[in-house]
Amino acid sequence: MGAVAGGPGAARIEPSADVDERAVLGAGTTVWHLAQVREHAVVGADCVIGRGAYVGPGVRIGSRVKVQNHALVYEPAVVEDGVFIGPAAVLTNDRHPRAVTPDGRLKGELDWRADGVTLRQGCSIGGRAVLVAGVTVGRWALVAAGAVVHRDVPDFALVAGVPARRIGWVGRAGERLRPAGEGRWECPRTGERYRETDGILLPGKP
Protein backbone atom coordinates (compact mmCIF):
# COMPACT_ATOMS: atom_id res chain seq x y z
CA MET A 1 0.00 0.00 0.00
CA GLY A 2 1.26 3.47 -0.84
CA ALA A 3 1.80 6.31 1.58
CA VAL A 4 -1.42 8.08 2.50
CA ALA A 5 -1.42 11.83 3.04
CA GLY A 6 -3.63 12.88 5.89
CA GLY A 7 -3.13 9.85 8.11
CA PRO A 8 -3.62 6.09 8.07
CA GLY A 9 -6.89 4.89 6.59
CA ALA A 10 -7.62 8.21 4.88
CA ALA A 11 -7.62 6.56 1.43
CA ARG A 12 -9.50 3.45 0.37
CA ILE A 13 -7.55 0.85 -1.61
CA GLU A 14 -9.28 -2.30 -2.78
CA PRO A 15 -7.31 -5.49 -2.01
CA SER A 16 -6.80 -6.37 -5.69
CA ALA A 17 -5.36 -2.93 -6.54
CA ASP A 18 -1.59 -2.59 -6.93
CA VAL A 19 -0.41 0.62 -5.27
CA ASP A 20 3.36 0.99 -4.93
CA GLU A 21 4.55 1.80 -1.42
CA ARG A 22 6.36 4.86 -2.81
CA ALA A 23 3.15 6.36 -4.25
CA VAL A 24 1.30 9.05 -2.28
CA LEU A 25 -2.50 9.13 -2.03
CA GLY A 26 -4.54 12.01 -0.68
CA ALA A 27 -7.26 11.74 1.95
CA GLY A 28 -10.60 10.48 0.67
CA THR A 29 -9.15 8.94 -2.49
CA THR A 30 -10.41 5.53 -3.65
CA VAL A 31 -8.41 3.09 -5.78
CA TRP A 32 -10.70 0.42 -7.20
CA HIS A 33 -10.18 -3.23 -8.14
CA LEU A 34 -7.19 -4.16 -10.33
CA ALA A 35 -6.02 -0.56 -10.71
CA GLN A 36 -2.28 0.11 -10.62
CA VAL A 37 -0.59 3.21 -9.19
CA ARG A 38 3.15 3.15 -9.82
CA GLU A 39 6.12 4.37 -7.80
CA HIS A 40 6.40 8.07 -6.95
CA ALA A 41 2.97 8.88 -8.40
CA VAL A 42 1.13 11.52 -6.39
CA VAL A 43 -2.68 11.45 -6.29
CA GLY A 44 -4.50 14.26 -4.50
CA ALA A 45 -7.48 14.23 -2.16
CA ASP A 46 -10.96 12.90 -2.98
CA CYS A 47 -9.96 11.21 -6.24
CA VAL A 48 -11.39 8.07 -7.83
CA ILE A 49 -9.06 5.70 -9.66
CA GLY A 50 -11.36 3.27 -11.48
CA ARG A 51 -11.17 -0.46 -11.99
CA GLY A 52 -8.21 -1.49 -14.12
CA ALA A 53 -6.87 2.05 -14.50
CA TYR A 54 -3.13 2.67 -14.74
CA VAL A 55 -1.21 5.63 -13.26
CA GLY A 56 2.44 5.65 -14.30
CA PRO A 57 5.61 6.39 -12.30
CA GLY A 58 5.87 9.99 -11.16
CA VAL A 59 2.49 11.05 -12.56
CA ARG A 60 1.02 14.05 -10.73
CA ILE A 61 -2.75 14.08 -10.20
CA GLY A 62 -4.55 16.89 -8.38
CA SER A 63 -7.59 16.70 -6.11
CA ARG A 64 -11.17 15.69 -6.98
CA VAL A 65 -10.05 13.91 -10.16
CA LYS A 66 -11.88 10.93 -11.68
CA VAL A 67 -9.83 8.40 -13.66
CA GLN A 68 -12.45 6.01 -15.00
CA ASN A 69 -12.18 2.26 -15.61
CA HIS A 70 -9.22 1.10 -17.72
CA ALA A 71 -7.92 4.60 -18.44
CA LEU A 72 -4.14 4.70 -18.97
CA VAL A 73 -2.20 7.70 -17.65
CA TYR A 74 1.44 7.37 -18.69
CA GLU A 75 4.30 9.26 -17.10
CA PRO A 76 5.14 12.11 -16.81
CA ALA A 77 1.54 13.30 -17.18
CA VAL A 78 0.29 16.20 -15.06
CA VAL A 79 -3.42 16.26 -14.21
CA GLU A 80 -4.76 19.32 -12.40
CA ASP A 81 -7.71 19.58 -9.98
CA GLY A 82 -11.21 18.58 -11.01
CA VAL A 83 -10.29 16.70 -14.20
CA PHE A 84 -12.39 13.83 -15.61
CA ILE A 85 -10.65 11.07 -17.61
CA GLY A 86 -13.20 8.77 -19.24
CA PRO A 87 -13.15 5.00 -19.53
CA ALA A 88 -10.32 3.52 -21.60
CA ALA A 89 -8.90 6.96 -22.47
CA VAL A 90 -5.15 6.95 -23.08
CA LEU A 91 -2.60 9.65 -22.26
CA THR A 92 0.46 8.61 -24.29
CA ASN A 93 4.08 9.65 -23.73
CA ASP A 94 6.17 8.70 -26.79
CA ARG A 95 6.18 10.86 -29.94
CA HIS A 96 8.25 8.33 -31.92
CA PRO A 97 7.27 4.91 -30.58
CA ARG A 98 9.47 1.94 -31.40
CA ALA A 99 10.07 -1.34 -29.55
CA VAL A 100 13.67 -1.52 -30.77
CA THR A 101 16.54 0.81 -31.63
CA PRO A 102 17.73 1.21 -35.25
CA ASP A 103 20.33 -1.51 -34.62
CA GLY A 104 17.66 -3.94 -33.40
CA ARG A 105 18.21 -3.76 -29.64
CA LEU A 106 15.19 -3.75 -27.35
CA LYS A 107 14.75 -0.13 -26.26
CA GLY A 108 15.36 0.69 -22.60
CA GLU A 109 14.83 3.76 -20.43
CA LEU A 110 17.86 5.58 -21.84
CA ASP A 111 16.81 5.10 -25.46
CA TRP A 112 13.83 7.46 -25.45
CA ARG A 113 12.41 10.51 -23.70
CA ALA A 114 8.98 10.40 -22.10
CA ASP A 115 6.87 13.42 -23.05
CA GLY A 116 3.76 13.67 -20.89
CA VAL A 117 0.28 15.06 -21.47
CA THR A 118 -0.96 17.98 -19.36
CA LEU A 119 -4.63 18.29 -18.39
CA ARG A 120 -5.59 21.67 -16.97
CA GLN A 121 -8.15 22.36 -14.27
CA GLY A 122 -11.67 21.07 -14.80
CA CYS A 123 -11.24 19.64 -18.29
CA SER A 124 -12.88 16.37 -19.37
CA ILE A 125 -11.59 13.60 -21.61
CA GLY A 126 -14.22 11.36 -23.21
CA GLY A 127 -14.13 7.58 -23.21
CA ARG A 128 -11.58 5.93 -25.54
CA ALA A 129 -10.04 9.27 -26.50
CA VAL A 130 -6.32 9.20 -27.25
CA LEU A 131 -4.06 12.13 -26.37
CA VAL A 132 -0.75 12.22 -28.23
CA ALA A 133 2.41 12.75 -26.18
CA GLY A 134 3.12 16.34 -25.18
CA VAL A 135 -0.28 17.93 -25.77
CA THR A 136 -2.01 20.22 -23.29
CA VAL A 137 -5.78 20.31 -22.82
CA GLY A 138 -6.91 23.68 -21.49
CA ARG A 139 -9.05 24.56 -18.49
CA TRP A 140 -12.66 23.33 -18.63
CA ALA A 141 -12.22 22.03 -22.20
CA LEU A 142 -14.08 18.91 -23.36
CA VAL A 143 -12.58 16.20 -25.56
CA ALA A 144 -15.29 14.07 -27.17
CA ALA A 145 -15.37 10.29 -26.88
CA GLY A 146 -13.09 8.56 -29.36
CA ALA A 147 -11.22 11.72 -30.38
CA VAL A 148 -7.51 11.68 -31.19
CA VAL A 149 -5.89 14.86 -29.88
CA HIS A 150 -2.58 15.71 -31.60
CA ARG A 151 -2.30 19.40 -30.74
CA ASP A 152 -3.07 21.65 -27.78
CA VAL A 153 -6.72 22.32 -26.92
CA PRO A 154 -7.71 25.87 -25.81
CA ASP A 155 -9.53 26.62 -22.57
CA PHE A 156 -13.31 25.91 -22.82
CA ALA A 157 -12.96 24.32 -26.29
CA LEU A 158 -15.12 21.39 -27.41
CA VAL A 159 -13.07 19.15 -29.72
CA ALA A 160 -14.07 15.98 -31.57
CA GLY A 161 -12.94 13.73 -34.38
CA VAL A 162 -9.81 12.08 -35.77
CA PRO A 163 -7.78 14.22 -35.67
CA ALA A 164 -9.64 16.33 -33.11
CA ARG A 165 -10.89 19.75 -34.20
CA ARG A 166 -12.75 22.44 -32.30
CA ILE A 167 -16.48 22.23 -33.01
CA GLY A 168 -17.74 24.60 -30.32
CA TRP A 169 -17.28 25.93 -26.81
CA VAL A 170 -18.33 24.57 -23.41
CA GLY A 171 -18.75 26.24 -20.04
CA ARG A 172 -17.77 25.12 -16.56
CA ALA A 173 -20.95 23.03 -16.35
CA GLY A 174 -19.77 20.99 -19.35
CA GLU A 175 -22.64 21.97 -21.64
CA ARG A 176 -22.18 23.42 -25.10
CA LEU A 177 -22.47 27.19 -25.07
CA ARG A 178 -25.04 28.99 -27.22
CA PRO A 179 -24.38 32.24 -29.10
CA ALA A 180 -25.40 35.41 -27.30
CA GLY A 181 -24.41 37.93 -29.99
CA GLU A 182 -21.29 39.96 -30.82
CA GLY A 183 -18.68 37.40 -29.77
CA ARG A 184 -20.57 36.48 -26.62
CA TRP A 185 -21.60 33.01 -25.50
CA GLU A 186 -23.92 31.78 -22.76
CA CYS A 187 -24.24 28.55 -20.77
CA PRO A 188 -27.80 27.19 -21.10
CA ARG A 189 -27.64 25.64 -17.64
CA THR A 190 -26.03 28.30 -15.47
CA GLY A 191 -26.50 31.49 -17.51
CA GLU A 192 -22.78 32.21 -17.20
CA ARG A 193 -21.55 34.49 -20.00
CA TYR A 194 -18.30 34.23 -21.96
CA ARG A 195 -16.57 36.44 -24.52
CA GLU A 196 -14.62 35.19 -27.54
CA THR A 197 -11.71 37.26 -28.85
CA ASP A 198 -9.29 36.03 -31.52
CA GLY A 199 -10.16 32.40 -30.89
CA ILE A 200 -9.81 32.68 -27.10
CA LEU A 201 -12.78 32.30 -24.77
CA LEU A 202 -12.86 34.06 -21.41
CA PRO A 203 -15.55 34.23 -18.72
CA GLY A 204 -17.36 37.55 -18.84
CA LYS A 205 -20.00 39.45 -16.95
CA PRO A 206 -23.68 38.44 -17.32
- Known catalytic residues? 96
Q: Are 10 and 28 in contact (CB under 8 A)?
A: yes
Phi, psi of 109 (to 5 degrees): -60, -35
Q: Is the Cα dihedral 26, 93, 147, 140 positive or negative?
A: positive
Tell me how long the chain is.
Answer: 206
DSSP string, 49-105: E-TT-EE-TT-EE-SS-EE-TT-EE-TT-EE-TT-EE-TT-EE---SS--SB-TTSP
